[in-house]
Each structure stands twice: as C-alpha cells, then as structure tokens.
Amino acid sequence: MYKVDHFINGKSSSESNKTSKIYNPSYGTEIGEVLCATNEIADKAVESAYEASKAWSKTGLIYRSELILKFRQNVINRSKEIIDLGISEAGKTRPDAEAELDRAVQALTHIAGVQHFYPSHYSQNVAGGIDIADLRFPIGVIVGVGPFNFPILIPLLHSAMALVTGNTYIGKPSEKVPSVSRLYADIWKESGLPDGCYNVVNGDKETVEFLVRHEKVDGLAFIGSTAAAKSLKMLGVEHNTKVQALGGAKNHMIVLPDADLDMSADAAVSASFGAAGQRCMAVSVVVAVGDIADELLDKIKERMPNLVMGVTDDDKTQLGPVISPENKDRIYSFIDSAEPDGATLVVDGRIRSNSLEGCFVGPTLIDNVKPGMAVYENEIFGPVLSFVRAKTYDEAMKITNSNNFGNGAALFTRDGGVAKKWSDEIQAGSVGINVPIPLPTYAHSFGGWKDSAFSETKGFGPSAIEFYTKTKSLSTRWPDPADSKVDLGFPRNDN
C-alpha cells in the first residue's frame, strides 16, 4: 500500500481531509490511496504557479527547450518505473505501456523544437513607414486534466507544452491513475525546473471546477468525456478562462467491397480491442458496405478467440482489464441492451470475463447494429465492436457523418478516387485510409470535430501553440517630427 500526495511549490504536500482508493484493475484489489485536495490546497497550488510565472514567463525559448531535453532524458532513465505504474494502476499490458511511453518521449522531442513552430508574423512598411508585428506571450497559469487511459502521455504532453511556451502548470490527474503525474513532479525538479512551475493537485470534479473558476488560472487543457468537456468549456466562458476541452468518440471504420478483407479484419480486431477498447481513437463501429458483410463479420469473429486475455503483469497478455468495476458494469449494461434493441450478439465476451477476477470484459461483437440503439449512440469505452451493414457507400457515409461524435474515422479500400472523395467528405478530425488508428505524429494536428471537441485549437500540432499563447499586435513608426500635425480623421493607408 502506498499514498500519493500533492506537489506544490517544489515540495511534497500531504494536506488533505479525505482520500480516494487506488486499485489494480487486473485483480480488483486496493494497492494505494491518493489524497484529495480541499479548495485551500488547490488555492496554494494556484498561488505557487502564479508567483513562479512572473520569472518563468521571461525566460528564453532556447533555455526552456534545453530543459525539456533534460527532462526527456530523465524520463527515459525512469522508464521502468513509469511503465510499471501504467501496468499496475491503469491495467495496461506491458507492450501498450511501453508504446505510450515511446509516444511521450517523441512528444518531448517535438516540443523541445518549439522555436521551429512558434509563429511570429511581421509586416514591414505596411503604410507610411509603419511596421506591424504580432508578438506572442504565454497566457499564465495552465491546469491540465488528463484521462485515466493515458496516464503516461497526456500529463507529459500538457505540462511540456505549457512550460516550453512560458506558462506554469498545475496537473490534476485522474484519481484512478495519479502516480505517474506525481512522479513527473520529481523528474521535473531533478531536471532543474524552478519551484512552482510544475504542481500536482489530486482531487475530483469539484477540484477541477474550483480551478477553472479561480481568477489566477488562465487556461484549462482537458481530455475526458463529452459531457465533462462541454460543461467545462461553458464554465470557462463564464469565468473568462481559456479552455481546450477534448471529449468522447465513436470512431467508424468503413470497409468497401474492394478492400482486402483479411487486412480489414486484422485492423478491426486490433483497433477495437487494443487497450481493452479504452482509447479515444479506438474503432468502435465497423460499417461493411455491400455483399462483403457476412464474410467480413466471420473473419473478425474467427480472430477473437485467439486474443489472450488476462492480468497485465503477465507478458503473454494481449487484452487486459477495463479501469474499474463501475466501468465494467456500465459496459455490461450496454451489452445487455443489444438484443432487446434488435441487434445480434455474435460474440458475448462476458462468457470469458465472468470467470476472471478483476475488472475484465471479454471481446464482444454485435451485428445488425443501427443508429438509435444504445450500443451505437454511446461511447462505451470498452472491448465492444458494433457491426453495421450498409448497402452503398452513400449510405455508409450518411450513417457515419450523422453520428454526433467526430474524433476519428477510417476507410479501407483500394480505390484512390473513392478514398479522396471520402477524405474530403468525412466529418472527423483525424482520419485514415487503410490506417485504423490515425493518430498523427506531433508535427500534425490532433483533435476532434462535432461533440468530440469543444475547442478552437487542437490538442497537439501547429495550432496547439494558439492555446498556450496569446498575441498582441505592435505597430511602430519613426516619423520626422517636422511632418507632425493634428488629424482627427480615421487612419488611412494612402502611402
């Protein structure tokens, strides 16, 4: 048993009036507890970050970039500890935790090159000897709220982007997986980050809302459910806090009749059941077009029994648990609703998972799913794949684009012309042609459309800099005093 505390102004803080239990999802057993912050504790973190921002915001880009590289190396040095926490708290398989850490390190590599994607527009002699420049500044104190499913990557991505652009940071990790964020605090300090620039406050929904309302908090970077994302965006507007809120998903994979069905089946199984379906970019709906549906369904079904499900401290495991008993029960309830709603339960994963301890849901395949059914309309966030049948490409597109979510989508085909048409018409933020999980590299934009995002900026990529900074335009002119005169007219650009 261990206890996860707060980290404020460069020091551990154990102030709390309550705690929350931490469980190992593979076994369903309690392994630790995390302190829950009061508003007073959260306020101390804000004051710490606010005071630190006065000096940190004036440091140079190159200095901050070099510190990111030091942090990156120290993260690599502590990789075993980070990966083990991802396995024990988040229920990740070892390959999944290792891959998440790899992506996190790649993110740091990209972020350290901030001077290459830190735009500053300058126009010389736009009118009468006037030069205009857009100057970029950090916004101030940023709060990062990460989801339980990426405890290694998201806190690192949020904090590194905030710090490299001159902001200070307060992390509020999911109470289910708090340890990696707290470990990052020690690594940042070891790397030479000044006290107060990175803080960790553990807590719940009320803690997040308190921070968004705080007059000295300038921004919130959030990833979680659509309901929470929308609520926090509205709260941010009310309190003039800049909010980047990324929400849920229901990613569709359309398979056309000309596609390679074995490759499509491999992709569907991999993208649906990897990480127990707990990815915002997981494929949760396969839309089969035309007369390939039965064959594709059989190919997906025949691959499912070969998935090795079990505890994630066993290196042979491919499919681990979902995060908690509550999530397991919620997923079971959606499976319960399938047949009464008119769908066909082809593979009931509960038959496999009912015999296991821990928070397991076996891989499940549901055929004849239609819009309006509970399994279709909701983000289940588990290893449940819905199979939808469409007669034509146009019908498949109508189904997909009518869904309220728009995080990701995929198309499997050999027809370049159709693929180009699809890429233009699909209503989602990250899309892939013969790529089932089209998560881009960090030089490109990531973020959803429709109810998958409540933000004017992307989670990463070129436009992310717009969230972490603000601009002012500077107009300068050095005229001859002899030409000065009073002129009450609206400024003109005659010369």
Torsion-angle region of residue 91: left (phi > 0), alpha (psi -120 to 50) or beta? left
Q: In this structure, what are the phi and psi dihedrals at residue 30, rounded to the nearest 5 degrees?
A: -75, 130
What is the side-by-side order of every strand in the sheet holding 130-138?
A: 122-127, 130-138, 469-476
Conformational region of residue 171, where left means phi above 0, alpha means psi within -120 to 50, and beta covers everything else: beta
Q: Which residues pair with 162 in a beta bridge?
A: none
The residues, any chain, with a CB within 8 Å of residue 352's CB and separated by 6 or more, are 309, 360, 362, 363
Rounded Cα gap, residues 44 and 321, in angstroms:
37
Active site amino acids = 280
Are 479 and 129 a contacting pair, CB within 8 Å? yes
| Residue located via tokens 């960790």 | 200
Q: In terms of Cα–Cα distance, which of 163, 152, 61, 68 is closest to 108?
A: 68
Look up residue 360 and give its two tokens.
């397991």
Q: Which has the closest alpha carbon to 324: 85, 21, 6?
A: 21
Q: 63: alpha, beta or left, given left = phi > 0 and alpha = psi -120 to 50?
A: alpha
> Where do the H-state alpha helices sit in 165-291?
179-190, 205-213, 226-238, 261-273
Name the residue among 271, 224, 274 with its Cα closest to residue 93: 274
CA angle in degrees (0–180, nearest 5) for 185-187-190: 110
- Total residues found in the chain within this entry: 495
Secondary structure class of 400 (helix, strand, coil): helix
Report the C-alpha gap between 3 and 179 in whole angstroms.
9
In one letter, which amino acid is 228? A
CA distances from 50 to 57, 140, 170, 188 (A): 10, 7, 10, 18
The first and second tokens of residue 253, run together, are 């994979």
